[in-house]
Structure 1
């Protein structure tokens, strides 16, 4: 039963590890041996017991071969398994099988079979022939070579893979010991072959390796080759933040020496400590960390990815570290260039706008009606251009951290009401219902009032702009433990799927005549982020969109209103 379970598990994971098929073939002759030995014990005459002894020896003939192939594949030495080498390795198993099946003709495997009734059951006692000892010597050699491969693999692997390999090596040594006791006649129970029971215990250890350490699910060999040649740094942590593996790129980026790091707590090794605190929750947006060594400073982007094992069990996380120093320098240069360009554009636009305002306010009759229409068009276009220029400047200033936050206690309910009142006429003209859902007694938020007001205006204005007549737009707020959650929902067409992943990036605007500059949501993201909050899309189905953002509460306030 244990052998069948192990074979079934390995077969289900045959695509997860290159050694899985060889493991299945290894289990099959063990299962045959155990079943045949049971029938041999129940036999009562030489002919019956001799037939089952033949089955047992044939099954044992293939065990060393499959064990060695399994060890070679699991340790990452598949290149050794050429057709020529496989043919040489399998030759002893084929010869033993043929000699066993034809043994009555030559007696090379056993010369005679007798029965021993001195024990608790009628035992089979074959008198071994010369080829049996030759095959035993070759079989032990195969198994010891396989164990040697596992020992080498263990010495070069991370902690979790060491436990895997150790369980496998121990499981292989138990049947060897049992078989040695049987061949030397040192078994306490007369006639009993302990090999079958040794393999049952071996199966239990294999089960530990399979189910506890995910022997055939984790692929350590391929990951070793890939990790060693990656330009990105990779750090593998267990659920307790102990280092399982770290590649050379991560050592180089974080200035870690060549010493052994596997098994050490990441908090005691990794510098700066922000690497762990920023990546405490796997799956979040990557964080940029400054790593300094002497006068040299490098910027690194760190992303945390969750690892899951069998049945979705959390197995730790993987930290991916990228050196973004040069990319950040280019980005800052581009931002500076954009800021200077836009700033230089604003002055002439202001002059043009002022001139157009003078013409538009001229006394009736000063300019004819046709020229007046052109002035109004130019005036509208100039205002749009100035709004765009100002938006780009504000976004650039937020990105570079040049906007000082004038934070103070603010009643968010008052701001939401002001926004709803200011946009009420626009909602009415668009034939929309604008609803406000704000409970009484909301706690105060710690925010810059001007920035927060603009964020709310952007979010509600977008919802009104893209919701068709007859729809509904709602602004709601509710307290969380340490922040205020603001939700702006609409019954519009939703956000196109191809735009969802980059919605809060600069110049991301959806298709259609109502698209804006693509800077409004980027501004909202930067403004909310500057406050230490988050902004995200909760739903973007064809029935509408719901944008959520959090704003920190004032110190000393809980999320429960008084």
Structure 2
């Protein structure tokens, strides 16, 4: 018979081992861990018993009997843990409960291995020979019977839990309950027969053998009934954990029970409210009508305040009927519809915002001047987000800065403010291209400080205006009241609005630019025509600065003409006092002027206080922004046109282009005036020479003829003094030809100087100037007579 028992026991080892392996792979499922340990304990118990039966000696049989106790003590505890999780009472399996549950198994296992010292588990053991094999027969000690009582207590507790689950579970879960109860019943029945000695063959423990019978049942429950895949959840657990409030009433509308959510909603405590008649006066809820308990009542909403904000509930009342279909009570459900209400409110607000944004976009699609359009955009953005103000910055990428072009925040005027990229909210958004929410602006580290903290915004939201991948502007919306911050939904709406208006802004800017260019071109044509109509040099110079103001705005302006390596300021406008014309300006001392001349193009100095190229001149302390344009005629730079502003960063590339175009027309007008003046002077000189010739031909008085020559030369050359030297062939020397003493007043000479010159004879070699003229027959120009070696010292005092 031993081979039969051995085969049955091996079957009892293999099946639990396979079940343990399968459940271990699903160890994340509820009850999988205790089920795995239970199956391993059953397999270990059976394996130990096989080895005990196969051992011939008493000592080896006792060793395997003690080894079995390592697994035997686990079975009751794992059964209880399994049934607790299966019944939905896993919350009991806390560390403290597990520690208490492990005390008895550990103590029994220790006493089994130390039984030789105290005999508490078994007092004696003998070998009993049965047909085909030998078994052990024990005389049990007191600890053994305590362990048996403890094990059966755990078994009965777990069985009671499973019976409860069976009674209240649907058919699917009842199959699972049957599988567990049947799998546990047969081994424990065999163990009871063995312990009480009712089996006719002493020493044979039926428990491991019956494991082989229960294993297929457990396998059926695991694979067919999805034992670890679908677990029954007790109604109490579901009701206790649900967010909706649940109150159960009897037929007289008396409270039977309520879950924690209902306690929180109604302000009642279930233990004290039980038995009280339900009604609006009992519940501490505002808004309940007298007939709220009528069956089928639904749609009544109540709102309660909570730390998480307002909470909305929908009231639903249903009849509870027994098996005969008679009403046995009512269930009152307070269904939490807060998320639904909030979603509805968000959708309503979103619809209103989108409608307002659509109306705004339709409105700004109409033709607008750019400044008017930008102002409308900021006003609509502030209105869209229910804010007190806003501003709009336009980017200047070449300077890596943004400029405020519109501001409707009344507490603080930032119109015209310039921020570098990364500075303040607008500069940071322009640099990163990412929107920004600042709900505590006074505490924000990157804020721009303003005079008077009370004028600073409380909250600010900033969105980039993107056109073809580039940020063309930044739209700010401001709230002044503390505590009224912006939400991510506000930011999303503003970003959508900013992206849409970027198209309108860019279109308006293109239209405005084309219109401005057309006006500027017409203005340049008018200016050029006006300049070319005037040939008087002084009038032309004055008119240049007057007409320049029509093309490019300036606070002050001046015009410099080049003479060698020096500059002469020939006309100025907008200065407090007239600029001194006698001050000699060296080109080498004015780096910004030299750069304009060398590059033959316009130059902008955005801020003269920080640019090292700037060289301050007289009365130029007010200049913070400077624009210079060269005056070029026939590829020759004749001078520089200077435009000044007190505001840093005012002039832009377009201003430089206009100034350069104007300077081209101005250069032509100046050159025309110079040519006209030269021709007029030449004509005057020819006329005077013709008169002199006619006068000389009609008189025989040499003194009168000489006087006419001197006077005519003085008028023609615009000289202070004219002295005529004649060559005397007899004396071989030059002598001064002077008028009569009574006519000396117009010669510029005193009587003493005239007498000295009359007596003077200048022979060849004494005056290099006269020798040079006599030999070359060419005129000679001397800038400084006092230092020239061509003029002898005796003649210097006459020049």
Give the TM-score band, short-chain normalised.
0.3 to 0.5
Task: Name which one, 1 or 2, has greater alpha-carbon Rg.
Answer: 2
TM, length-normalised to structure 2: 0.31
